[in-house]
Amino acid sequence: MRMRYLPVAMAALLCGCVGANEQNVPTFPQTRWNMDAATVMEAYDLEPASVKQYDAGRGRTLVLSGKEAFGARAETITFLFINLKQGESGDFPAFSESDQAALNHQEVLASVLVQYPKETDWETIVSELDARYGKAAVEEVTLFPLFSALDANMAVQQVEASDGCKVWGSEPIEEWLDGKDAAYFEENWKKYRPDLASEEDWERLCREGRMVTIVCEENQGAPSVRFDAYDLAVYNELKAAAGED
């Protein structure tokens, strides 16, 4: 069946070794993945009126223009947040108006997209990324984008390092779950990923998926850098629900 990918903002609405933790994962400068939108604005010393903001259901988006990132002036930096709290409805992705009011400001940063104008020096960006995240450099990453729940198959995208693409990533998810209650995580992770339709899907996500990935593409002279940490947000939410530190 053909897979239909959702735009990033819409997707937000839907949805090592032993001891690996958030301190070991790549983070976007001046942020941490547990920050909400207000804290990110404080970290960048931004006034709400100076930032484009979009709110809809579980998703929240901040868009900064003309800021520098990784040694070059970006056209836009887009911060995407997700609220994974279940609220009184006890369901996900359902998010009632009462849930939205009660769970306001409990979103966490889940993705950052940096887009640069044409003729930006891609090598400068890659050099800055390597200086900051070099230990996390890998030859390829497997991405699992959220997709339309109307389709049956899990969305998978393999991205290999090449002359026009560089990738970084944290340890595979399975290394974070080593020694933990795997059955608990498998049962509850599926609430936040409706595409995990089979045991094979779950095993592949754990084996190939990473809590955080970074993809930098040259894009014919208009580079982009994409950080994804949705599964880290899910992991931290499930840990908190289980009463883990």
Size of the chain, expressed as the number of residues it contains: 245
Are 117 and 87 in contact by the 8 Å Cβ rule? The answer is no
Q: Round the average pLDDT of the chain to a whole number and report it.
A: 83
Alpha helices in 134-223 (DSSP H): 173-177, 182-192, 199-208
Token reading at 55? 């709110």
State which H helix or E strand residue 115 sits in.
Answer: strand 108-115
Q: Are 81 and 107 in contact (CB under 8 A)?
A: yes
Backbone phi, psi, residue 46, to 5°: -110, 140
Cα angle vertex 172, ends 168, 178, to 5°? 150
Distance, CA of 179 to CA of 18 (rounded, Å)? 7
Check pLDDT > 90 for residue 245: no
Dihedral sign from CA coordinates of 237, 243, 244, 245: positive
Percent of the chain with pLDDT over 90: 60
pLDDT value at position 89? 56
Give per-residue pLDDT as tens, 90-117.
555 555 555 555 556 689 999 999 999 9
Q: Evaluate if residue 141 carries a pLDDT over 70.
A: yes
CA distance 211 to 228: 8
What is the reported pTM? 0.85
pLDDT digits (tens, 9 = 90+) for 146-191: 754 445 578 899 999 999 999 999 999 999 997 778 889 999 998 8
Structure-derived torsion over alpha carbons of residues 79, 140, 143, 174, reported in degrees to the nearest 10: -100
Residue 15, pLDDT > 50, answer no
Surface-to-core class of residue 101, CB atoms within 10 Å of its CB (0-12 exposed, 13-18 middle, 19+ buried): exposed
What's the CA gap between 171 and 34, in Å, rounded?
A: 18
Q: What are phi and psi of 160, to 5 degrees?
A: -105, 145
| Per-residue model confidence as pLDDT tens digits over 184-229 | 999 999 888 888 889 999 999 999 999 999 999 999 999 999 999 9
Per the listing, tokens 């084996």 go with 207
Alpha-carbon distance of 86 to 170, in angstroms, equals 27
Contact (CB, 8 A) for 84 and 192: yes
